Amino acid sequence: MMLVLTVMLAVLALGGAGLVFAGNSGASKKRMASVSGGPVVVVSGRNSPDSTQRRKNVTALLKDLEKQQAEQKKRVTLRRRLDWAGLDIEPRSYWMLSATAALIAVAVCIFTHQSLIATFLIALPVGLGLPRWILSFLKGRREKAFTAEFANAIDVIVRSVKSGLPTNEALKIVAREIPDPVGKEFNTLTEGLKVGVTLEQGLKKMFENMPTAEVSFFGIVMTIQQKSGGNLSEALSNLAFVLRDRKRLQGKIRAMSSEAKASAMIIGSLPPVVMGLVWMTSPQYIDLLFTERMGNIMLACCVLWMSIGILVMRKMISFKH
C-alpha cells in the first residue's frame, strides 16, 4: 500500500511540474496582463519590436542620405567647383581669368602668324579646358590632404568621447588641433552648431564642401548614432580602421598601376614632344600643318585621335576601390 501511494504521489508531482513549466500560455498571459494592467508581449533578441523599428529607421535614413548625395552630384555649379578647389573667388572672376587666358593664346597665335583654324583650336582649349583642369587638379590635391588627416581627426573624437567630453567639444578640439583643410571644415561645422544648425545639416554641408567617401561615411555614422543611439566611440573607431584600410588599398593600387601609368604618360606625350622638336629644328617642314588647309584638317584629326587614345588609356589604368 505504501508503494502504491508513493507511486501516485510521484506521478502527481511530475504532472504538476509539467503544468508549471509548460502551463497554459493563454491563461498565463491573461493573468500577467491583469496584474500589469495591459497586454504583455515577451519578445527577445533580434526580433524584438525595438530592434526591428531601429533597423527600419536606419534603413530609411541610409536611403534618404543616398538620395540626397545623388541629388548633390547632379547639380554641380561653378560656385561649388570653386569651393571644392579651395578658391575664394567669384564665378565672374573665374570667367574673366578664362577669357584672359584665351586672349593671350589668340595674341600668341597672331604674333606667330597662325591660321584662323589653328588659332581657334588653340584658344578654345586654353580658355575653357585649362581652367577646368586647374580646378580639378586643386580639388584632387585638397581632397588628398583632407583624407590624409581625416582618420587622425576621428581618433581625436574617439579619445575625447571616451574621456567623457560631449560630442560638440570633441568637434571643437578637432577644429582647433588638426591642420587645414580638416580643421577648416570642422570649424565651419562647429560654428554652424553654435548658431542653431543641427548636426545632420552641418554634416550635409561638410559633404557638400568635401564630397569624398570618407566624409559620407562619417556623416552616416554620426547621423545614425544621433537618431538611433549606440556606442559612438566604438562606431568611430571602426570607421577610422576602415579609412586606414582604404588608404593602404589606395597605396597598393598606385604601386601596382605605376608601370602602366608611366607607359601611358610616355606614349601620350611622345607625339607632342616629337612635334615640338621638329618645329625647333626644321620649322619650314612642319609649318604646312598650320598654313595649308589640308594640314589644318590633318592636325585637327590628330588632336581628336590623340584625345580619344588618352581617354582610353586613362580608363584602362583607373581602378575603382
Contact 174, 165 (CB under 8 A): no
Is 250 domain-assigned? Answer: yes
Q: Could you tell me if 237 and 158 are in contact, meaning their C-beta atoms sit under 8 angstroms apart?
A: yes
295 inside domain: yes
Distance CA 174, CA 150 (A): 10
Q: What is the pLDDT of residue 103?
A: 92
Q: What's the Cα-to-Cα distance from 249 to each of 41, 201, 202, 240, rounded to whole Å?
A: 48, 31, 29, 14
In a domain, 50, yes or no: no
Which has the closest alpha carbon to 72: 246, 248, 234, 219? 219
- What does the pLDDT look like over 231-280, one tens digit per residue? 788 888 888 888 888 888 888 888 887 887 788 788 878 888 888 888 88
Which long-range contacts (C-beta less than 8 Å, at least 24 apart) are formed by 309-314?
309/267, 309/268, 310/264, 310/268, 313/264, 313/267, 313/268, 314/264
Query: Is 98 inside any structural domain?
Result: yes
pLDDT value for 37: 46
Closest by Cα among 222, 209, 200 to 182: 209
The secondary structure of residue 47, as a DSSP letter, is G
Q: What is the pLDDT of residue 104?
A: 92
pLDDT at 3 over 60: no
Asked whether residue 118 is domain-assigned, the answer is yes
Please give the pLDDT value at position 308. 87
Query: pLDDT tens digits for 62-97?
Result: 666 666 666 655 667 888 888 888 888 888 998 999
Residue 28 located in a structural domain: no
> Within a domain: residue 227?
yes
Q: Which of 112-116, 178-182, 203-207 has the lowest mean pLDDT?
A: 112-116
State the residue range of the domain holding 155. 78-317
